[in-house]
A and B are shown apart, each in its own frame.
Chain A
């Protein structure tokens, strides 16, 4: 009975920091260079080479920690995690263990089942990435590319706080949003700049002790997060319901088959023999360094969302859409600052602007000022909403000032009572029976006449003015 089980998930996320050089050497951290060209004595692990930490990587790590509400420790320690693997040239990874950079943070996200939920961030530490092993490039040989080796990462570890695969995914998207906002990482799972491992266990509802957990690895796209965790959860439940017991092991997800299989590894591989790295003095951060990172942290999505609701009287849903992407949020505010009405601007951004951005990689193509002007033209009666959409598309495609574009397209509304009177007379003349009915009290026909005037004018008539002229002419 599936309903009797509760899923418990914790996530460990590795995020590549947005630096130009590596964590401990001056090699380029860029993606996609020919193999083993971004390498030096340090990241090749040559005899005698030594690490020197990258300042910007630490700034970004501290910003991430602050953005996640962590306590940043003024003194932390680099440690060596020892294990043998062909893409780990030194035989150890420089990481942090007993004294991490930051602890005790949290991140709120919108749980699909529980509303606003909070994930605890147990720790956030800095480390270096390993290289890449290619197992199918040459027969019987593994090819090693060390370009990635030494690229700066942070590892963000949550508590066992998620109650469903869907929650885990939502948290991850929220985390991604925060990290993208603060320009800490590109968070591109396909390029490996965000990777996630999950600890999964299940227990009977009401049980307080945690069940045996497994670690799910090799989830290499956002699309697979929920699938992988669901598959593992279902496997665990099936084992337990079949009377079996679970082994605390590492499971590898295979997206092709949407299945998991236990990782084959040496039994000792988890004795990492962590100890403080004697090549690196303690990581001591001054109060000033930490405070500076705080000031460089932008307003984060949750805060911005609240402010949008408050300041622009938007619904929570609209505010969430507008703040999902920092560029969109900034754009929206620029439109408002340029004089557009907040609500109208929100509607424009959520519909025309986002639709256009979706189809065009070159981003937000209509300048915020131009959109504000366009909204002003509608408000002032110069353009109908329909006409304004056409102007928007034209400006997006070819640029130009909305008013000029509208004029060039012949879309400017006619607000001249003389011209309007002509159209009104024509319409009333052509619909005598409706005029009769109107005069007998069927006043809702006014909208019908307005529509006919708009049609006769080919959309150029100002509908408000047309209504006024109609009312005058139909008056008894």
Chain B
């Protein structure tokens, strides 16, 4: 596509499709504004860009000049960023159209998109269920066919987990592969922008565009953008490890069946499959729920009602302004995490929690290095322990909610790339399988994902 009239048609069609799935509450942008902006973007988009005319929805915690950036939070209601995130700028430079901002758990904190100040997002196949989170709006929009791809962000699995629950592809790149400039920080050492796509290819080509060096982000690696691999004929020569800790005794039987089928298919494609061990896996969620809240408590200190965002009463003095703005502006899950994070960093607790968690992080990262050093190229695991759960089911039990990230947090802790690919259905609900790759070897991971995607009957019951 390189014809402006085609881009305009694409923009209009995307807007129509997004209107059609309005009931999901996946897109936060008012439809009139979306139509107007899409038309304007289509008429000015650069025709030679590799994503020319492609509508890409963007999670609400990624800054764009188009649309507000509220992070699913009341504290940033109506906030308009005066700059573009590097990922958004790269998308536009490649000719893509920003197709609205997608709903998410507030500041990315959640696994169900129920923790949004703008209402929960519905699962596209079953409105009583959650689409996963925190990038649930992006996953639902892609799964419903409204956009071919959407940007999400991950701190502990927020792209892969909703991808698994919604039956789409979700990629979390290596930490440092994509600039975080303009991604509203949650847990800076874990955060990474990821992509949800209806296919590996759609997700991968968007990832390729947004990846690469950025002088504005000190944690972004000085590397060229990701080059897309070809779809392989076979997986001959690939060694795929299956970590036993990700297949516990009590793993959901249907999830196990789906994984077994996927593993069989990987073997049939020529890969050598080996059981491996990542012994510190059991501590990953605990480690994550110290580091992420600690960083979040500091990252979210800036939302105080002083320089941007709305104010909530409290005009008598500045501390009152802070306390009411933050007390009323943050939802319960964010408040909980800010308090836990403040606690683990506070005097007297730092060593037992934060410092210890850093040591655990090193051990978990070392587990992966050990396995990869022994000739394993990739790991295969379930993405989530269950298919989509019911809305409200885990809302009052934070720890139960946290455990839905059990298979995804490790890649964030170790900074590794990972992808979730649909591998079947369980009573009609999608389930994903995960490939975890080595740092900056997304191309190998994508090759295996291409092959798996082709081979697996994703729409069939496992």
Contact = CB atoms under 8 A, between A and B. Distances in A.
Given A47-B76, A51-B218, A80 B181 contact: no
Nearest to A44: B307
Contacts, number: 101
B218 A281 contact: yes
Contacts of B218: 50-53, 279-281
B423 interface: no
Interface stretch (A4-12, A81-89, A214-222, A320-328): A81-89
Interface of B is mostly: loop
Interface string B192-227: 000000000000000000000001111100000000
A279 B347 CA distance: 22
A233 interface: no
Interface stretch (A64-72, A270-278, A292-300, A349-357): A270-278
B301 interface: yes
Contacts of A46: 81-83, 308
Interface string B91-103: 0000000000000
B360 to A, nearest CB: 15
Contacts of A363: none
Interface string A42-62: 001111111111000000000
A275 B355 CA distance: 9
A142 interface: yes
A41 B185 CA distance: 14
Nearest to B301: A91
A86 B318 contact: yes
B151 to A, nearest CB: 13
Contact of B298 (A44, A50, A92, A144): A92
A50 B189 contact: no
A84 B304 contact: yes
Contact of A142 (B62, B300, B308, B318): B318
B79 to A, nearest CB: 7
A265 to B, nearest CB: 11
Interface in B291-305: 294-295, 297-298, 300-302, 304
Contacts of B302: 45, 47, 89-91
Nearest to A80: B298
Interface string B313-342: 000001100100000000000000000001
B307 A47 contact: no
Contacts of B180: 48, 50
Contacts of A45: 302, 307
A271 B346 contact: yes
Contact of B345 (A53, A90, A91, A275): A275
A128 to B, nearest CB: 14
B188 interface: yes
Contact of B322 (A82, A84, A92): A84
B63 interface: yes
A299 to B, nearest CB: 35
A80 B217 CA distance: 17
B304 to A, nearest CB: 7
Interface size class of B (residues with CB under 8 A): 35 or more
Contact of A50 (B216, B295, B306, B308): B216
B304 A48 contact: no
A281 B219 contact: yes
Interface residues of A, number: 30
Contacts of B76: 47
Contacts of A271: 346-347
B69 interface: yes
A145 to B, nearest CB: 12
Contacts of A49: 83, 181-182
Nearest to B214: A50
A53 B183 CA distance: 19
Contacts of A91: 298, 300-302, 304
A45 B299 CA distance: 10
Given A47-B69, A91-B301, A278 B81 contact: no
Contacts of A80: 298
B191 to A, nearest CB: 9
A40 to B, nearest CB: 8
A86 B306 CA distance: 7
Contacts of B318: 86, 142
Interface string A396-429: 0000000000000000000000000000000000
Contacts of B178: none
Contact of B216 (A52, A142, A144): A52
Contacts of A41: 82-83
A48 B81 contact: yes
B85 interface: yes
A412 B306 CA distance: 74
Contacts of B143: none
B14 interface: no
Contact of B183 (A48, A84, A274): A48
Contact of A48 (B63, B294, B342): B63
Contact of B184 (A48, A84, A275): A48
Contact of A82 (B63, B79, B184, B298): B298
B354 interface: yes
A273 B81 contact: no
B307 to A, nearest CB: 6
A292 B216 CA distance: 27
Given A89-B307, A90-B301, A275 B294 contact: yes
Interface string A81-112: 01010100111100000000000000000000
Interface string B159-188: 000000000000000000000111111011
B414 interface: no
A84 B81 contact: no
B188 A84 contact: no
Of A47, A89, A91, A274, chain B has the most CB atoms within 10 Å of the CB of A47
A46 B309 CA distance: 10
A274 B297 CA distance: 12
Contacts of A144: 306-307
Contacts of B346: 271, 273
B109 interface: no
A89 B63 CA distance: 18
B307 A275 contact: no
A80 B295 CA distance: 10
Interface string A105-143: 000000000000000000000000000000000000010
A166 B185 CA distance: 48
A82 B345 contact: yes
Contacts of B79: 47
Interface in A253-291: 266, 271, 273-275, 278-281
Interface in B30-89: 62-63, 69, 71, 76, 79, 81-83, 85
Contacts of A266: 319
Contacts of A51: 218
18 contacts: A41-B82, A45-B302, A47-B76, A47-B308, A48-B63, A50-B181, A82-B301, A91-B298, A91-B300, A91-B301, A91-B304, A92-B301, A142-B318, A271-B346, A273-B297, A273-B350, A278-B188, A278-B189
Q: Sorted from nearest, which 4 A-B pairs have the closest CB atoms?
A: A91-B301, A278-B189, A278-B188, A273-B345
Given A51-B218, A82-B301, A275-B294, 14 more contacts: A45-B307, A46-B81, A47-B69, A48-B85, A50-B180, A50-B217, A50-B218, A82-B345, A86-B306, A91-B298, A273-B297, A273-B298, A279-B188, A281-B218
